[in-house]
Structure 1
Amino acid sequence: MTRLIVWRHGNTDWNAASRVQGQTDVSLNDLGREQARAAAPLLAALRPDVIVASDLSRAVDTAAALAEVTGLPVRTDARLRERYFGLWQGLALTEAAARFPEEYARWRAGDPDPGAEIETLDDLGKRVGTAFQDAADLAAGGTVVVTTHGGGARQGVGHLLGWDHAVLRTVGSLANCHWTELRYDDGVTRRAAPGWHLRSHNVGLITRPASTEPV
């Protein structure tokens, strides 16, 4: 059995201001660093074998808190970056709504390809989901912690589970520094259907209010 822990990065000033980060490299703020330090011992107790992170600094620095506790190195993978938000990157959500009202309405409604040069949900899920699988393969039968982003986490998990967009919209986004746990079963040892299974979602400590918006 392989265990995959999908961990969202800590809070940033852009999270706090509801500003669209996408693939912009925004650093953790003091709250985000506090969240990472608080969560690290809990994740260390799961005895991870490998840590992999998006190469954006907010994910790398979150993963570094766990690396400090476990002594494991942090591997980076650019495929774990957040959804590319095209013309919205750097805008407050209110600004995106004002400048791109049609695209914003489609995005809010869950359209997988809302326009404004935003990466499609299908492309996002395949990109991140493939990176999740490759990370899991680094420690087959062990535990892998992958540090990524809100939107990417949800779509990547959906890709591994084979869930469509309508199902994924019923699953809340990860709060900052919270995680989802998946386990891979071969269908023999535990008499379960072979493949990835969701074991828990949005697990973690809440030190102070945190962003759940996957941008």
Structure 2
Amino acid sequence: MTRLILWRHGNTDWNAGDRVQGQTDVPLNDLGQEQARAAAPLLAALRPDAIVASDLRRARDTADALAALTGLAVRPDPRLRERYFGRWQGLTIPEVAERHPAEYRAWRAGAQDPGCEIEPLDDLGKRVGAALQDAVDRMPGATVVFATHGGAARQGCGHILGWGPEVLHSVGALQNCHWTELRHDPARGWQLRAHNVGPLDQRPVPPAI
């Protein structure tokens, strides 16, 4: 059985401030480090065979908490980075809504390519999906944990599952340090087995990008 765990990174100051991160390299804050340490034993109990992480610090540092428990090396893969948010990166969501109202409305409605140099969702899904597939090809039958980002995880899962944009738009955002689990059944193919799983004492934070 092949099992993929897509794990969103811990909290950052930009998450807490409702600021668009995208591919800006923002580190975990104290809460994010605490979240990673709380989630790591739960993921270690799944007996992962490999850990792959986005090369952005917030994902790599999250992965390191699991590596410390399992002894596994973390393999970086830049294809697991968050969606590139173009001219929005560094702005707060209220600033985005004020400065780019038409593009903001399109993004909220689930537009694939809302403008402002934002990476199209189809491109995001294909690059993250390629990273997931490469890991499957490298280690068939393994359990692989991917430390990545909320939007990247959703689109990567959609690519693997073959879900269209209408379905993906209805999937709730991952909380910090929560994960989605996919399994491959030889008869039925890829299946979503769990979504938004994480520590029971997780403090809720607003979804961020």
Bin for the TM-score computed over the shorter chain: over 0.9
* Cα offsets for 1:147-170 (capped at 9, x unmatched): 100011100000000000000111
Task: Name the residue aligned to 2:80.
Answer: 80
Instruction: Write out the 4+ residue segments of structure 1 that deviate beyond 3 Å after TM superposition.
Output: none
Is residue 2:196 matched to residue 1:210?
no
Shift, 1:43, TM fit: 0.2
Spell out the pairing of 1:35-184 with structure 2 (5 A cutoff).
35-184=35-184
Amino acid at match of 1:143: T
Amino acid at match of 1:212: P
Q: Could you say what the CA RMSD is over the residues aligned between the two structures, in angstroms? A: 0.8
Distance 1:140 1:30 in 2: 36
Amino acid at match of 2:154: R
Shift, 1:139, TM fit: 2.1
SS in 2 for 1:72: coil
User: Aligned match of 1:197 in 184, 188, 191?
Assistant: 191
Shift, 1:184, TM fit: 1.1
* Cα offsets for 1:31-88 (capped at 9, x unmatched): 0000000000000000000000000000000000000000000000000000000000
SS in 1 for 2:20: coil
Distance 2:36 2:149 in 1: 14
Aligned 8 A contact 1:2 1:140 in 2? yes
| Count of equivalent residues | 208
SS in 2 for 1:182: strand
SS in 2 for 1:113: coil
Unaligned stretches of 5+ residues in structure 2: none
Amino acid at match of 1:176: N
SS in 2 for 1:37: helix
Distance 1:140 1:212 in 2: 33
Shift, 1:209, TM fit: 2.3
Identity within the alignment, %: 71
Shift, 1:178, TM fit: 0.2
Distance 2:112 2:84 in 1: 13
Distance 1:35 1:147 in 2: 13
TM-score for the superposition, normalised by structure 1: 0.95
Aligned 8 A contact 2:175 2:204 in 1? no
Shift, 1:136, TM fit: 2.5
Aligned 8 A contact 1:53 1:148 in 2? yes
Aligned 8 A contact 2:52 2:77 in 1? yes
Unaligned stretches of 5+ residues in structure 1: 188-192
Moved more, 29-38 or 139-148: 139-148
